[in-house]
Structure formats: structure tokens, C-alpha cells
Amino acid sequence: MFRLEEHKEETENKAIAKTVLPSRAYIPLSQHLGRICNPEVKIGDSVSTGQRIAAADARIYAPIHASLSGKVTSISDWPHPLLGRCKSIIIQGDGQDKSQIPNPKSQTDIENLTPEQIRNIVFEAGIVGMGGAAFPTHIKLSPPSPVDTLIVNGTECEPYLTADYRLMLEKTKEILQGIELVVKCLGVKKVYIAIEDNKPQAIEKFKIQNSPPKAGPPSAEKFKIKVLKSQYPQGGEKQLTKNILGREVPQGKLPFDIGVVVHNVATVFAIYEAVYLGKPLYERVVTVTGDCLENPGNFLVRIGTPLSDLITQCGPLKKKPEKIIFGGPMMGFAQYSLDTPVIKNTNGVILFSDTEIKVAEEAACIRCSRCVEHCPLGLMPCLISLACQKERWDAARSYGCLDCMECGLCDYVCPQRRNIVQAIKRAKALLNR
């Protein structure tokens, strides 16, 4: 664990703003872990905002919705932030943003919903884990064995990103309502809202909103607000279970194996919107930042909005971008095209100039042990990277490379700039083949 330079000050005071509707939306058919969707519309079809346009015949997937009203002009390969290229539905917007979204439900309707009905609404809304992994949320709402604890992840430990933070400040009540829904689905007793101590305002807001309705002892608060130290990677599921509950997820297992489910705050907010407002996941909050932009900020962005539109929105450019990242700077993905669209798990878009991005040659390991000291999983990254260099894959496995969650901290602290994560990704791909 390590305290990184956070660079959150550029956007943390920028309220969530709406973007201009993109003229075209490029909606990839794979935005989740699981089966890729098949289009349910044809070229030339008219679609409305929020209409389901793609689904799959499988259990683990999430349906995909139109984020604009307009015409489907093409269904073809298009740049994808994670996969390089992916089959995508391209919608030419009509500028009217007509939507089919039903009227909001009343409080009694919502209180009468069964867990099964909530799960179904979440599935129909196409919600996935919005913190990064994009695992379909309805699956995480129906664990195969009983769970006792829910952790709502509002740590946002990646530098530069403030989207979750703004959401927590501006939509505190909605997030708490979303948590109630999740609690109903999971039947858990204990709920922790995890926030890092670099977000005192968010902690304060949650403490006020979460206080018991009438005069009562302070211990009667519904959910526990857990203030965690600001250090990377505090928001990893394994770190959260350890630092909040003192329980470790056994090697090769998932948090629900020890009775814990972790949901990101943005996901919980999407659940609120789906259940209360009937709104499927077709837009999300994205931090657009980096030292190249004149006007960085947090924006409510339609899924499928291309990168070039976001740059226009936040421009003009102060400096020439050398590297553009979707996600955070520690675990995000570098992009090769300005056509790449925002997808369901894009929490940030960062434009770095050459002053922030220094390309350095990889040098020999000097065994300084910084990576071993900071690895949150107790692995020996330097030895894994040396083993990979010599293509000794069994040795790489014995040093724990398959357990690695690729948080990138070893790489970050390496004084020799060794590409440790790259080596580990390669080893994993080869060992899992």
C-alpha cells in the first residue's frame, strides 16, 4: 500500500455537468464481462433513448441500450477502449432525445418489490460494475451462498478521478436509497460505506444523511461509514475486506466466499436510477481531466460518446496529448484512437502531455525491494518479472503471478522503470492458456 500523488484538485470541485448530446453514438456490443451481445436492431431502424438494442442468450451478460434517439446507421467494427476493436451499433442522433422511460415509481410500489423483481429490473437496465471490472450486477445481487456483509465502495483510490466523489456529494440520498435496494436483494445485516479520508466532505454528507430519522442514539445509524486511509489500492475488493472486516479472501476465491459483496457507489446509484426512475444504464459520470485540457471536469456522459467529442467539450487543448487513458492512471487503458467511445465502466478519461508521461527505457532489476514492500498481496513482483524475462513460467507462478490483481503499484515504485505489470499480464495469458 502506498500514498500516491493524487492530482484530484483539478476536478474535485467541479460539479457534475451535462455534456452536449453527441451527434453520433458508437455503442459496443461488449461492455461487460460475459457473453458478447447480439444486436436486436437493424441498419435503418429508428431507436429511442433507453431502448434495448442488444442482448445475448446467456446468463452472464448485461443487455445494452440506445443512448440517443435516432437511426441506426451501421453495425460494424469500431475502436473499443479495452478490446482494441469490437462490433458496435452506430446511432445517428436526431437531436431530440426522445425516450420511452416510464413514469417514476411511487415509494409504496418500491417497498412492495420483491428481491427477485429488483434483480430483474437491474438486469433489464443493463447494469454492470461501474468501478472497473464491469461484471454484470444482477449476478452479484444473487450470490450462490448466503452473505452477511455489504461493502459499498466509495474509496476512489485511483489518482485524478473524482467522478465517484462528485456523485457521493451530489447524490448522497439516492445512493443511500440504492443501498437499501441492494440490502433487500442480498438480505445482509451489516453494511459498510467505505470512503477514503481524502474526501472529508463526502464523509460528512453521508454521516448527516445516514443519521437516524428521529432523535435517537448516534449508534442507531443505518449503515456504518468506514473512513479508510488514503492509500492505493485501498479500493481493491481484497483490501476492503481486509481493512474493514479483518477478513482475507482466500487465494483464488471471491469475496462472497467469505460472505461479503462489494459494490461501487456508481453502480449503486445506477441501481437507484433503474428501480426508482426506470432508467436503464445509458449514461454515466466520467471525470475528464489531464494536463492537456483547459476545462477539465466531471460530466454526465452518454454511453457511446466518442473521445473527440469529450475533448471538444473540455477544450481547447493547452498541450498536445501524448497518451490518453480510459480509467485511472494506475489501471486504465491507453487509447490509440480519438473515435473510442465511453462505455459502461469508463470512470475517467485522462489526457496526458509529454510532461506527465515520460517514456523510459526498462533497466535491470537492482533488487531494491520496493515492489515487495508495497505489494498489497504480499507477492514478489521483481522476481516474477525476472522469471518472465527468462521465460521461466513455472517460477513466475511460484512467485504468485496468478494471484496478482495488476494494481500497478510495483511498477509505480520501481526506480528502474521495469514493466512488471506487462510481464505479469503476459505470464498470466500464457499460464492460463
Partner 1 sequence: MPDKLIVSVSPHIHSHESTPKVMWSVFFALIPAGIVGVFIFGLAALKIIIISVLSCLVTEALIQKLTHRRISIGDGSAVLTGLLLAYNLSSNVPFWIPVIGGIFAIAVCKQAFGGLGANIFNPALAARAFLLASWPKHMTGFSKPFSPDAVTSATPLAMLKEGKVADLVQSGLSYMDLFLGKRSGCLGEVCILVLLIGAVYLLWRGYIWWYTPAGFILTLGGLSWIFGVGGFFKGDFLFSILAGGVILGAFFMATDYVTTPITKKGQLIFGIGCGVITFIIRRFGGYPEGISYSILMMNATVPLIDRYVRPRRYGVKK
Write out the binding residues for partner 1, residues 104-163 only, by CB under 8 A.
Answer: 159
Minimal distance, residue 234 CB to partner 1, in Å? 14
* Angle subtended at Cα 233 by Cα 232 and Cα 238, rounded to the nearest 5 degrees: 150
Minimal distance, residue 370 CB to partner 1, in Å? 8
Q: Kindly tell me which of 48 and 353 has the beta carbon lying closer to partner 1.
A: 353
251 Cα distance to chain centroid: 23
In this structure, which long-range contacts are made by residues 136-142, counting pairs with CB atoms below 8 Å and at least 24 apart in sequence? 136/32, 136/33, 136/34, 136/60, 136/61, 136/62, 137/62, 137/263, 137/267, 137/270, 137/271, 138/62, 139/59, 139/60, 140/256, 140/261, 140/263, 141/115, 141/182, 141/185, 141/186, 142/185
61 burial level (CB within 10 Å; 0-12, 13-18, 19+): buried
Q: Kindly tell me which of 77 and 111 has the beta carbon lying closer to partner 1.
A: 77
Does 40 bind partner 1 (CB under 8 A)? Our answer is no
Minimal distance, residue 282 CB to partner 1, in Å? 27
Strand duo 52-55 + 64-65: pairing: antiparallel
Give φ, ψ of 291 to 5 degrees.
-80, 0
| Of residues 316-335, those binding partner 1 (CB under 8 A) | 317, 320-325, 329-335
Determine which helix (DSSP H) or strand (DSSP E) holds 179, and give its type and residue range. Answer: helix 172-186
Q: Kindly tell me which of 63 and 159 has the beta carbon lying closer to partner 1.
A: 159
Q: Kindly tell me which of 184 and 418 has the beta carbon lying closer to partner 1.
A: 418
Minimal distance, residue 306 CB to partner 1, in Å? 12
Minimal distance, residue 182 CB to partner 1, in Å? 25
Answer whether 335's CB lies under 8 Å from 326's CB.
yes
Binder among 78, 165, 282, 412 for partner 1 (CB under 8 A) = 412
| Of residues 247-276, those binding partner 1 (CB under 8 A) | 248-253
| Of residues 333-392, those binding partner 1 (CB under 8 A) | 333-338, 350, 352, 356-360, 363-370, 372-373, 375-380, 382-383
Binder among 23, 46, 92, 308 for partner 1 (CB under 8 A) = 308
Q: Kindly tell me which of 27 and 421 has the beta carbon lying closer to partner 1.
A: 421
Applying CB under 8 A, the span of 13-21, 49-57, 208-216, 414-422 interacting with partner 1 comes to: 414-422
Task: Take residue 159 and report the three cell numbers written for it.
Answer: 489518482
Does 411 bind partner 1 (CB under 8 A)? Our answer is yes
Distances (CA, A) of 173 to 28, 95, 348: 32, 31, 23
Q: Kindly tell me which of 168 and 350 has the beta carbon lying closer to partner 1.
A: 350
Q: Kindly tell me which of 191 and 365 has the beta carbon lying closer to partner 1.
A: 365
Rounded CA gap, 181 and 141, in Å?
10
Minimal distance, residue 181 CB to partner 1, in Å? 30
| Of residues 63-82, those binding partner 1 (CB under 8 A) | none
Q: Kindly tell me which of 87 and 238 has the beta carbon lying closer to partner 1.
A: 238
Q: Kindly tell me which of 89 and 420 has the beta carbon lying closer to partner 1.
A: 420
Minimal distance, residue 7 CB to partner 1, in Å? 9
Q: Which residue has 456508481 as its cell numbers?
A: 266
Rounded CA gap, 67 and 310, in Å?
15
Torsion of CA 210, 122, 302, 299, to 10 degrees: 10
Q: At what angle do helices 163-170 and 200-209 cross, to 10 degrees?
A: 30
Minimal distance, residue 372 CB to partner 1, in Å? 5
Residue type, 363: A
Count of residues that interact with partner 1, criterion CB under 8 A: 71
Q: Kindly tell me which of 63 and 408 has the beta carbon lying closer to partner 1.
A: 408
Minimal distance, residue 117 CB to partner 1, in Å? 35
* DSSP secondary structure letter of residue 285: E
Strand duo 17-18 + 297-302: pairing: parallel
Cβ neighbours of residue 218 closer than 8 Å, sequence gap 6 or more: 211, 212
Q: Kindly tell me which of 172 and 198 has the beta carbon lying closer to partner 1.
A: 198
Minimal distance, residue 415 CB to partner 1, in Å? 5
Rounded CA gap, 423 and 386, in Å?
9
Decide: helix, strand or coil at residue 398.
helix
Does 422 bind partner 1 (CB under 8 A)? Our answer is yes
Decide: helix, strand or coil at residue 131.
coil
Applying CB under 8 A, the span of 30-38, 40-48, 90-98, 241-249 interacting with partner 1 comes to: 241-249
Binder among 242, 318, 392, 397 for partner 1 (CB under 8 A) = 242
| Of residues 159-188, those binding partner 1 (CB under 8 A) | 159
